[in-house]
Amino acid sequence: MTSKYETEPKGYTMTTVMQEAARCLLCEDAPCSKACPAHTNPAKFIRSVRFRNVKGAAETIRENNALGAICARVCPTERYCESACTRAKIDGPIDIGGIQRYVTDMERKENMQILHAGKENGMNVAIIGSGPAGLQAAATLRQKGYGVDIYEKNAKAGGYLTYGIPEYRLPEAIVDYEVQRIVNLGSNIKYNVAVGKDITMDDLKAKYDAVIVAIGASAAKTIPMFEHNICTESAISFLARAKENKGKLDDLPDNVLVIGGGDVAMDVVTTLKKLGVTHVTDMVYEEFSEFKASKKELEGAQKEGVTIVDGYVPTDVRQNKVTFKHRKIDSEMTITADKIILAIGQKVDADGLNIDIQHNEIPFRKVRFHTKDPKVFATGDIVDGDKTVVYAVQKGKEVAEEIDRVLGGQDND
Amino acid sequence: MIKKDLSIDSLGVHFENPFCLSSSPVGNCYEMCKNAYDAGWGGIVYKTLSPDHFVIDEVSPRFSQLTKEDTPFVAFKNMEQLAEHPMAQDLADMRRLKKEYPDKVLIASIMGETPQDWTNLAKLVTEAGADMIELNFSCPQMTSHTMGSDVGTNPELCKTNCEAVKKGTNLPVLAKMTPNIMTMIPVVKACLEGGADGVSSINTVKSITDIDLDNKVALPSINGKSAVSGLSGKAVKPIALRFLQQIRSAAGLEQLPVSGIGGIETWEDAAEFILLGASTLQVTTAIMQYGYRIIDDLTNGLMHYMDEQGVDHLKDLVGIANKNILPTNQLDRDYKVYPKIDWDKCIGCGRCFISCQDGAHQAMGWDDDKRLPTFDKSKCVGCQLCALVCPVGAIKLGLVEMKPGRKGDPAKVDASTFQLPNAEN
Ligand SMILES: Cc1cc2nc3c(=O)[nH]c(=O)nc-3n(C[C@H](O)[C@H](O)[C@H](O)COP(=O)(O)OP(=O)(O)OC[C@H]3O[C@@H](n4cnc5c(N)ncnc54)[C@H](O)[C@@H]3O)c2cc1C
Ligand SMILES: Cc1cc2nc3c(=O)[nH]c(=O)nc-3n(C[C@H](O)[C@H](O)[C@H](O)COP(=O)(O)O)c2cc1C
Ligand code: SF4
Ligand code: SF4
Ligand code: SF4
């Protein structure tokens, strides 16, 4: 039997997706489509479903979003398309993510090949990092006829899709499938190559017409007092181990303390619960009224029975004993746990790449995606804009367009 | 719970309520009919009996359906013929039903091939204790041209068969009409001349619901082939209502007892048939989809309607809408009524705009910034398409105006009779 950790919620059937599509008002100049950061055009693909054209729906999604099956599962839709949905004025928004998942599931079952490589234009681009930004940039460039090599320091592609987002929300098989599509377009992924260590930036610049840095924020932030604490692990390290081992971790104790209150923290606590940890306590800096995690994620964690305490900051740690103080009221508590997981954010690790990073981003430039080096471009989480998969997708598209503009490849379109 | 008298008399037979199973698999044996009676149905038209020498040999599968969005059974297509049991068994079942349910109505449906058959069948079902006989002149999927709906389009044959039936019985006789015809009137009149006392209308509409796009065959596919056959269910209701209205408005037929059939699912459908002149009602498809239990809401809903209307006897409602149905050339064409948007209800979806632009007269515009419709009265023709597509019922009938050059007082146009299907008040 597949474990709770490996089980994603059930998707729509042909009948139930039609019920949901029939709720859609088919709006004029649809606000949902305007609110999708990657222009996936939900109003159009929902209308296709309504008129029983699932293949057409799949084309709309795929042509706008090379990671459509992933976005369907992980997009914080309540902040994007669904927040704008007119239907919410009647009862609730259309479940756009759910419909998108149904369509892309059908696309997979039908083995549709929607994207095609463009005629080779003789120019080549190197992409550093195979997260969503790098993958989408590769897809767009291949459609325009550029040769694409992706350099990835890890053994698998996907960035946080593969090493972060838990299996029950985003099955590895889906990521592998989406990556394979992009490989099938003719992108070449070179695994286990860390640029700046195994190969230099100068090598890449010499060999390619342009270089895209899409390295994301792959290192964990920490708090000095936890730096040498042997009971402490970072959220992304824990989530990566859980995903790589399909949830089969044999070092899980019965009592885990998690610090942090964003979506990553919610993933950690929910994963712990799904893996059978009895006592999961989450200490959160923000109070509930100012909570960072999405409602959906928070509710998921609460449903699993996680103890969430809001408004506390850690003030002292001794081995496995952490003392917290409330930020506003006079209150202190000490928690003893068998393991501590820090989920307080990620930061960029651009060692050896010779690019400026300030506050985890490349400083804003007049022309977006350019770095100080005219041959080097940047995209994804390391440039301004939301730190989400769908934003990474859009930034991936846009950086490819920008390179195409600079290299004059538009003639090839 | 509301209690109203739903009983009605038709052709001298007392129905405790007007709701009957129509002749079909829903009333095909003792057990089924017993369950239907117990559930509260007022009468049953037993599945059509035919002479034993006419061999009934059904296909499999035998149904298909028309869907829309997520709605199944918008219409239902069947390829069934008549009762498959040996006649003796059906007659025994009928006899037993009548004995156990003396106060419920049992109508026998019959179909013969020769006049002799019709006489014999009439005799047999009369002896079995039926209260009434329905003559099936209208099944569109018979394998013989001397049976079924081909007969129902031929007034002469209908008359002859009615005469033959009358030789075998003195029970009241209903002739069941086919809708696969331009006008039923000559057929109805021929049946009455032949001795029928009333009609049942309609049987199923000849149809093809859908095609299997891979195998290029209509559905249901019977070993790779299919045939035109009868459509029933909600989508045929408008056709059934129009025939009912036509019959009851024809000179000399204004008081004809009609058993209304075709797409009845809710008490509202039932009330519509009654208002157009049906005194009893028959149902199949809705029962096939949902079961006998739908009788609860048919009867209770109809009681509430009577209550709202201040009516104590169902017969007072029969046929009273027909006076308001006129030939199109007699309608008032002197005024138009404009739509009126209730801005508190409007959610800014733009559907009225899209439909008026592409399907009407470009009177509804669209304000991109406000995301709200705009209205240009000078272009509006008052068709009210916009009101029909609005998903929240925000568009109502507004200002009434006389057309240029027409006499009349807009205030005298009876706006209270304007009702839009989706306008929630
Ligand atoms: C636990 C977790 C859950 C999340 N959940 C969601 C969610 O539900 N919805 C959502 O929209 N977003 C979510 N996010 C955020 C989302 O994953 C990121 O915004 C997105 O992955 C950023 O994409 P990217 O391509 O910029 O970078 P990344 O996904 O970080 O990918 C960067 C890639 O570059 C590689 N790399 C880095 N340095 C080098 C180098 N020097 N040489 C070669 N390769 C290198 C890395 O190994 C990695 O594969 C989540 C993040 C985390 C951590
Ligand atoms: C499966 C099926 C079998 C039917 N068999 C008969 C029949 O044997 N005799 C008959 O007079 N009508 C028969 N009919 C027609 C129904 O009695 C009825 O006239 C028609 O279905 C319209 O009513 P409805 O919309 O409530 O189903 C049959 C209908 C269906 C769906
Ligand atoms: S905004 Fe909502 S209701 Fe309107 S088209 Fe988009 S999904 Fe449908
Ligand atoms: S009534 Fe007809 S013409 Fe007038 S606004 Fe509505 S749709 Fe347009
Ligand atoms: S259809 Fe109704 S809700 Fe939609 S814009 Fe028009 S008036 Fe408003």
What ipTM does the predicted assembly reach?
Answer: 0.79
Residue A27, chain B, CB below 8 Å: the answer is yes
Nearest partner of A411 among A212, A209, A144, judged by Cα = A144
User: Which whole number is the average pLDDT over B129-153?
Assistant: 88
- The answer to whether A382 and A362 are in contact (CB under 8 A) is yes
The predicted structure's pLDDT at residue B334: 94
Residue A91, chain B, CB below 8 Å: the answer is no
Report the DSSP beta bridge partners of residue A195. A199
Note whether B70 contacts A26, CB cutoff 8 Å: no
Nearest partner of B415 among B395, B400, B425, judged by Cα = B400
- The answer to whether A90 and B347 are in contact (CB under 8 A) is yes
Two tokens, residue A345: 């954010």
Query: Does any ligand 1 atom lie closer than 6 A to the CB of residue A308?
Result: no
> Which class does domain B8-324 fall in?
alpha beta
Residue A28, chain B, CB below 8 Å: the answer is yes
Query: Does any ligand 1 atom lie closer than 6 A to the CB of residue A129?
Result: yes
pLDDT over 90 (residue B277): yes
Query: Does any ligand 1 atom lie closer than 6 A to the CB of residue A151?
Result: yes
Two tokens, residue A295: 């409602």
The predicted structure's pLDDT at residue B70: 87
What's the mean per-residue pLDDT of chain B? Answer: 94
Query: Does any ligand 4 atom lie closer than 6 A to the CB of residue B384?
Result: yes
In terms of phi and psi (left: phi > 0; alpha: psi -120 to 50; beta: otherwise), the region of B40 is left
User: Distance from B98 to chain A by nearest Cα, in Å?
Assistant: 43
How many Cβ atoms are within 10 Å of B195's Cβ, its own excluded? 17
> Which class does domain B332-417 fall in?
alpha beta
Note whether B351 contacts A22, CB cutoff 8 Å: no
- Measure the CA–CA gap between A184 and B85, rounded to whole angstroms: 63
Note whether B70 contacts A18, CB cutoff 8 Å: yes
The rounded average pLDDT for each run of 10 residues, N- to C-terminus, in chain A (413 residues) is 89 94 96 97 96 94 98 96 97 98 97 96 97 98 98 98 97 97 98 97 97 96 94 97 94 95 96 96 93 88 95 95 96 96 95 89 87 95 96 98 88 50
Task: Say whether B139 is catalytic.
Answer: yes
pLDDT over 80 (residue B223): yes
Domains, in order of start, for chain A: 4-109 (1.10.1060.10), 124-218+348-412 (3.50.50.60), 220-345 (3.50.50.60)
pLDDT class of B370 with cuts at 50, 70, 90: very high
- Measure the CA–CA gap between A26 and A23, rounded to whole angstroms: 9
Note whether A29 contacts B69, CB cutoff 8 Å: no
- Measure the CA–CA gap between B112 and B124, rounded to whole angstroms: 12
Two tokens, residue B330: 């007699």
pLDDT over 80 (residue B319): yes
What digits encode the pLDDT tens for the residues A15-47? 899 999 999 999 999 999 999 999 999 999 999
User: Distance from B351 to chain A by nearest Cα, in Å?
Assistant: 6
User: Which whole number is the average pLDDT over B78-99?
Assistant: 92
Nearest partner of A315 among A397, A399, A212, A226, judged by Cα = A226
- Measure the CA–CA gap between B365 and B368, rounded to whole angstroms: 10
The predicted structure's pLDDT at residue B417: 62
Distance A24 CA to ligand 3 centre (A): 5
The predicted structure's pLDDT at residue B63: 94
**Chain region(s) in chain B for CATH 3.20.20.70:** 8-324
Considering every ligand atom shown, identify the ligand nearest to the alpha carbon of residue A136 and give its number: 1
**Chain region(s) in chain B for CATH 3.30.70.20:** 332-417
User: Which whole number is the average pLDDT over B221-244?
Assistant: 96
* Residue B111 exposure: Cα atoms within 13 Å on the Cβ side: 32
For the whole model, what pTM was predicted? Answer: 0.88
Residues in contact with ligand 2 (CB, 6 Å cut-off): B 22-25, 47-48, 76, 78, 80, 82, 109, 136, 139, 176, 203-204, 232-233, 236, 261-264, 283-286
Q: Work out the angle at residue A129's Cα, subtended by the Cα atoms of residues A124 and A132, and round it to the nearest 5 degrees.
A: 100
Catalytic site residue from B139, B162, B191, B356: B139
The residue type found at B119 is T
Mean pLDDT check: name the lowest of B4-13, B193-202, B261-270, B404-413: B404-413
- Measure the CA–CA gap between B353 and B347, rounded to whole angstroms: 13
Distance A29 CA to ligand 4 centre (A): 20
- Measure the CA–CA gap between A317 and A337, rounded to whole angstroms: 11
* Residue B316 exposure: Cα atoms within 13 Å on the Cβ side: 10
Q: How far is CA A242 from the centre of its chain?
A: 17
What are the strands of the beta sheet with B229-232, ordered from one edge? Answer: B63-68, B71-78, B229-232, B205-207
Hey, whose CA ends up nearest to atom 1 of ligand 3? A85
List b or e across A56-75, with b for residues whose CB sees 16 or more CB atoms inside 10 angstroms. bbbbbbbebbbbbbbbbbbb
User: Distance from B269 to chain A by nearest Cα, in Å?
Assistant: 24
- Measure the CA–CA gap between B327 and A85, rounded to whole angstroms: 45
Mean pLDDT check: name the lowest of B258-262, B316-320, B350-354, B404-408: B404-408
Hey, whose CA ends up nearest to atom 6 of ligand 5? B352
Question: DSSP label at B96?
Answer: H
- The answer to whether B249 and B188 are in contact (CB under 8 A) is no
* Secondary element (H or E) of residue B32: helix B30-39
User: Distance from B281 to chain A by nearest Cα, in Å?
Assistant: 32
Helix spans in A110-259 (H): 132-143, 160-163, 172-184, 201-207, 235-244
Mean pLDDT check: name the lowest of A46-50, B138-142, B243-247: B138-142
| Per-position DSSP letters for B366-401, written without gaps between them | EETTTTEEEE-GGG-----HHHHH-TT--EEEEEEE
Pairing of strands B105-110, B43-45: parallel
pLDDT over 50 (residue B424): no
Helices B87-100 and B115-127 pack at an angle, to 10 degrees, of 40
Note whether A29 contacts B371, CB cutoff 8 Å: yes
B interface with A, Cβ–Cβ below 8 Å: 69-70, 347-351, 353-354, 366, 368, 371, 391-392
Query: Does any ligand 1 atom lie closer than 6 A to the CB of residue A74?
Result: yes
Which residue on chain B is closest to A20 by alpha carbon? Answer: B70
The predicted structure's pLDDT at residue A92: 97
Two tokens, residue A315: 């003030």
The predicted structure's pLDDT at residue B423: 45
pLDDT class of B425 with cuts at 50, 70, 90: very low
- The answer to whether B45 and B109 are in contact (CB under 8 A) is yes
Distance B373 CA to ligand 5 centre (A): 7
**A29 contacts on B by Cβ (under 8 Å):** 350, 366, 368, 371
The predicted structure's pLDDT at residue B418: 63
Distance A107 CA to ligand 3 centre (A): 22
